[in-house]
Structure 1
Amino acid sequence: MEIAAIVLILVPVIAYLGYPLVLIGAAAIAGRRRADHSTGGLPTISIVICAYNEAPRIGAKLESVIAALEAWPGAAEIVVGDDGSNDDTCAVVERFAGRGVRLVRGPRGGKAAMLNRIVPSCTGAVLVMSDADPLFDAGTVPALIAPFADPAVGAVAGSVETIRGGGRRGGRFAGADRVFRAYESAMRRAEDDLFGCVSADGGIYAIRAALMPHVVADATDDFYISTAAVAAGRRIAFAPAAKVYEHSIGGDRQQFRRRVRITVRGMTGLWRRRALMNPMRTGWYGVGLIMHKLARRLAPLTLPPLWLLSGLLAARGHMPWSLVFAALSAGFALGAIGFLTMLKLPRPLGLAYGAMLHLAGLGVGVMLFLAGRRYAQWTPQKAPA
């Protein structure tokens, strides 16, 4: 029983703490990767944005993209695909027609269908992908495109930073989101130095147009598209200076539902890209993909049996396991109380509650995936505009 409990406790510790520490330590020893700038010239780029009922946000988004392009001396186009919106999204986008924005209308079919519709019409050698709400930083475009000077780079992941959302409860998880984003960025920087990022965030990333796949409907599109670069034998680079800013989603239930759906779609994407998890084919990237994307999603499933076993061991007088049982009990209680009462918790407890909600969403999402649940089309949760 004790050996089983030790195994159960090691899984989340290694996935969330051990692997990142080893990764960052190895990257520090290896030193910063030197980019190969053997190819010259500026590639043409297409900035691709898919929108569904984004009227309150799409105007600010396009203003930020147009402003960011002022720092880009090369040729660029902005393409917005409207996925059958029934609000004023198209009317807002059409007001930017004279400023280099092209609108493509389509019936409601989901983001994957819209990407497959509009990408063939894009003229850029590099496709810059971004969600409809994150705002571009002024230096985002040149920072994102610079790594493509290295011919070994097939895709580039940018950096997403969280800002406090609007509304009475809009900023409830902003602190937890910022901590998580910093954690992810540290891992991506280390992965980039060692074997390349395992994937990119949908807020901002880019891929060579020649590597763009046909997008499947049931997987997270950012993961599936960016990993097409690895499937083609290229590397995913990380450009921390290529920043976008997005609002935190404030509602507990919104956060939970979002995490469940992302997890189901993420696990589906991993299954579709399972060949990349073979280290015999992809080397250390395969190990990184397993640890970064698979182990972290599976780890929450160890917590309920660990709680049960630690309780049984604590009842037998094993003091260390009493501490484990108490810590897990407190965490589960905090998660349940916070979710049911929606009380505003002080910062340390708020961060812990945000972590528990995140873990719960991961666990439920994995179980739904294993049960055969799939999300081919869904409307993303949004922060208040």
Structure 2
Amino acid sequence: MTARHGEPRGHWVLLILGGLVLAMLLLLDGFAANVVGEAPRGEDPATGRVPAAVSSGGPVVNLSEGVPHSRRLPPKTIALTFDDGPDPTWTPRLLDVLRRHRAHATFFTVGARVARNPGLTRRILREGHEIGSHTYTHADLAAVPAWRARLELDLTQRALAGAAGVHTRLLRMPYSSRPDGLTGPEWQAARRAGGDGYLVVFTDRDTEDWRRPGADAIVRAALAGSKRGEGAVVMLHDSGGDRSGTIAAVTRIIERLQPQGYRFTTLTRALGLPSAEVRVPAWERAIGWTLVTAQRAASALTAAMSVLFAVAGVAYMLRLAVPLLFAHAHRNKTRTAEEPIPGGGMPPDPFPPVSVIVPAYDEEANIAATIASLLDTDYPGTVEVIVVDDGSTDRTAPIVGSIASSAVQLIRKPNGGKPSALNEGIEAARAEILVLVDGDTVFQRDTIRHLVAPFADPRIGAVSGNTKVADRGGLLGRWQHIEYVIGFNLDRRMFDVLRCMPTVPGAIGAFRRSTLARVGGVPGDTLAEDTDLTMAICRTGLRVVYAEKALAWTETPSSLRQLWRQRYRWCYGTMQAMWKHRRSVLERGGSGRLGRRCLLYLAAFQVLLPLFAPVTDLFALFGVVFGDPTVPVLTWLAFVSAQAATGAFALWLDGEPIRPLWSLPLQQFVYRQLMYLIVVQSAVTALLGARLGWHTVRRTGASADLRDATVRAREQSGGPVGYT
């Protein structure tokens, strides 16, 4: 595929739109579950007097003409009514019972459940039963505003149109029962619904089966008055929990009354009224289908996100725990104890000559401090410093030229990028051991010695040093310091134990010249040349190890914009390197170790997990705002606590104070989101085949300030002082 120039922009609009759609679906599902916009049960204030004709009348009330007319069922006629469904578990079992006994019933359905179970809704009608409305979310119509009540009823009609192509004339208000128990607010709600053309249905016999009193109690309540041959509307439920008692009771009710000449039919047939269902035109069905589809998608999305949230939580904990365990193993076992050097002992020259190569582009703020720290070393062997000025536009080259030292060589070249500068420096270097250093990095006096020591083992091709954040004073600096210690250095200990180091950082790393020659030098076809180079070395079978005592202090971005530019390049370049070396997953030896241990780990925890992070964050926010916040809040607290414990151990391993951990909770609300959005941007850039340019981070001279402070401290103490 040919890469296209330029960075993608339009995907942010798509991402925002996708987020809005996701939020709307979550809100829809929350509304359908009566979580979003839930209204409390009314307190039954005496507002509005219930007419005596209604309170003492029959259970079916017609209010369409303004004057209430109530009706009772004829003798020996039973209208079994079931509220709160359809339920995929219990409604089919009830339908089976009714079919066996050739009985029919009326189902007052909740619109949201109709949308989730359209096939079951159609079965109810297909088997000769009828459907009424029980609102869309089982809302208390006596407690909600008039607009919400109308919305509840309209949405239920839409759901019925989308699921079965019908509207209904029947309504039973949630929480209602017998007419003589009507409150003022319930009467007002019934009047509004009657004005919209609904036939409002109450009950004669409320079995209160929702309390699950047992089949015997349900049967007794349903048969009250049956000895006198009275007809009745019987209220039961086919959803809302275990309805096995209701099913058993329905069987016994029908078997008890049918031999006595009772008929079990729908409400409208019992009263000789037109059918409750009204066929709707195609455009109404289309609108309803849209609602049903959206509701089912929202329900499936919520279920999937619940699983994803749990999986992500486990993955985050593993992301913390696994490197921690390997870091503990790395601390307790030295590499020489694990695998003795072939032949034993040290190489003939324990302190071989070292060439330090410093690629520099516009590094005037720090270059002098970098060179000074390289020259001020306790390494007993010969050290030459080669600075390759890669077409700087500032005073980098004059500053290097002004340093009076025979150990410093300046090479000037037109700007060609960091890999070309490194390769030119490697070409000019005289030593076999090469140390590659960024132009904003300051070494400690013993750093080179610790970097070179592992090369006593001829199987080692490269050594990674321990990068420290120099400018950690502000909040952003503390966050980056925590990330370097936990996310980078802790991982390097793990990869060292697993023998699959993915990155020797450009700030501090050492290589054998022969190793670099074997892999063709520093590659220039990815933006993460350090990761690309390290992976190539691992694939040769040579080991890349981590020297935790080889400390280097580097300047990090001082603004979120600068941080974005740097990490975007790192993340995109790492993806490039992973794709370039993807075949290692199927190979053997050192290459296979890199592929199956490292690349799969990086793909899971540094690509896929961050890509899902926005979704899990949105779901957690939804749970906190609209649902029970206990689970998301406890999950967040557990994650932050585990991260703090991991961070404390990592800081202890690095000999750092744990004071910066106070900023860790704040990191979850800004820094974390920035990091996963960078992964999203990088993934989109990679998928679209765009080519990302090199972004230069503006230097502030933090490394130079650190070097000056260290020199002053050393002069005052009369001895060597570490950078702190």
Report the TM range for the smaller structure's normalisation. Answer: 0.7 to 0.9
CA apart distance, 1:305: 3.5
Does structure 1 residue 160 correspond to structure 2 residue 476? no
Name the counterpart of 2:597: 288
Decide whether aligned partners of structure 1 residues 284 and 225 sit closer, same or farther in structure 2, where only a CA change above 3 A counts: closer
- Matched letter for residue 447 of structure 2: T
CA apart distance, 1:188: 1.4
For the Cα contact (< 8 Å) 1:140–1:242, is it kept in 2?
Answer: yes
Does structure 1 residue 34 correspond to structure 2 residue 350? no
Q: TM-score, normalised by structure 2?
A: 0.46
Name the counterpart of 1:51: 360
- Matched letter for residue 65 of structure 1: L
Q: Distance in 2 between matches of 1:128 and 1:321?
A: 52
CA apart distance, 1:383: 4.1
Alignment partner of 1:275 out of 580, 583, 586: 583
Unaligned runs of 5+ in 1: 328-345
Does structure 1 residue 103 correspond to structure 2 residue 410? yes
Q: Distance in 2 between matches of 1:382 and 1:186?
A: 27
Unaligned runs of 5+ in 2: 1-299, 637-661, 703-724
Q: Distance in 2 between matches of 1:146 and 1:264?
A: 33
Decide whether aligned partners of structure 1 residues 313 and 348 sit closer, same or farther in structure 2, where only a CA change above 3 A counts: closer
For the Cα contact (< 8 Å) 2:562–2:697, is it kept in 1?
Answer: no
CA apart distance, 1:135: 0.6
1:44-123 counterparts in 2 under 5 A?
A: 44-68=353-377, 71-123=378-430
Name the counterpart of 1:330: none
Alignment partner of 2:663 out of 343, 347, 355: 347
For the Cα contact (< 8 Å) 2:390–2:417, is it kept in 1?
Answer: yes
Decide whether aligned partners of structure 1 residues 140 and 97 sit closer, same or farther in structure 2, where only a CA change above 3 A counts: same
For the Cα contact (< 8 Å) 2:442–2:553, is it kept in 1?
Answer: yes
Root mean square deviation, CA, Å:
3.1
Q: Distance in 2 between matches of 1:234 and 1:11?
A: 36
Does structure 1 residue 298 correspond to structure 2 residue 608? yes
Decide whether aligned partners of structure 1 residues 112 and 136 sit closer, same or farther in structure 2, where only a CA change above 3 A counts: same
Name the counterpart of 1:178: 481
Decide whether aligned partners of structure 1 residues 174 and 312 sit closer, same or farther in structure 2, where only a CA change above 3 A counts: closer
Q: Distance in 2 between matches of 1:362 and 1:56?
A: 30
Does structure 1 residue 211 correspond to structure 2 residue 515? yes
Q: Distance in 1 between matches of 2:307 and 2:691?
A: 30
For the Cα contact (< 8 Å) 1:9–1:302, is it kept in 2?
Answer: no
Q: Distance in 2 between matches of 1:3 and 1:32?
A: 45
Q: TM-score, normalised by structure 1?
A: 0.83
Q: Distance in 1 between matches of 2:680 and 2:452?
A: 36
Q: Distance in 2 between matches of 1:367 and 1:229?
A: 28
CA apart distance, 1:283: 4.5
Name the counterpart of 1:191: 495
For 1:147, what is the secondary structure of its paired residue? helix
Once the two structures are superposed, residues 299-349 of structure 1 have per-residue CA deviations (whole angstroms, 9 ceiling, x without a partner) of 2211234456668899997x589737996xxxxxxxxxxxxxxxxxx9355
For the Cα contact (< 8 Å) 2:367–2:439, is it kept in 1?
Answer: yes
CA apart distance, 1:10: 5.8
Name the counterpart of 2:684: 367
For 2:333, what is the secondary structure of its paired residue? coil
CA apart distance, 1:82: 0.6
For 2:468, what is the secondary structure of its paired residue? strand
For 2:691, what is the secondary structure of its paired residue? coil
For the Cα contact (< 8 Å) 2:354–2:433, is it kept in 1?
Answer: yes
Does structure 1 residue 5 correspond to structure 2 residue 309? no
CA apart distance, 1:78: 0.8
CA apart distance, 1:201: 1.6
- Matched letter for residue 524 of structure 2: V
Q: Distance in 1 between matches of 2:626 and 2:399?
A: 66
Name the counterpart of 1:238: 546
Does structure 1 residue 357 correspond to structure 2 residue 667? no
Aligned length: 362
- Matched letter for residue 195 of structure 1: R
- Matched letter for residue 677 of structure 2: A
Once the two structures are superposed, residues 214-260 of structure 1 have per-residue CA deviations (whole angstroms, 9 ceiling, x without a partner) of 32243312112222321211111000110011233221111122211
Q: Distance in 1 between matches of 2:327 and 2:556?
A: 30
CA apart distance, 1:12: 4.6
- Matched letter for residue 64 of structure 1: S
CA apart distance, 1:98: 2.4
Name the counterpart of 2:535: 227
For 1:78, what is the secondary structure of its paired residue? strand
Decide whether aligned partners of structure 1 residues 10 and 126 sit closer, same or farther in structure 2, where only a CA change above 3 A counts: farther
For the Cα contact (< 8 Å) 1:200–1:222, is it kept in 2?
Answer: yes
- Matched letter for residue 272 of structure 1: K
Structure number with the bigger relative contact order (C-alpha 8 A, sep ≥ 6) is 1
Please identify, of 245-254 and 348-357, the stretch whose mean Cα deviation from structure 2 is larger.
348-357
For the Cα contact (< 8 Å) 1:198–1:288, is it kept in 2?
Answer: no
Q: Distance in 2 between matches of 1:324 and 1:351?
A: 16
For the Cα contact (< 8 Å) 1:311–1:322, is it kept in 2?
Answer: no
For 1:123, what is the secondary structure of its paired residue? coil
Decide whether aligned partners of structure 1 residues 315 and 66 sit closer, same or farther in structure 2, where only a CA change above 3 A counts: closer
Q: Distance in 2 between matches of 1:315 and 1:100?
A: 64
Name the counterpart of 1:201: 505
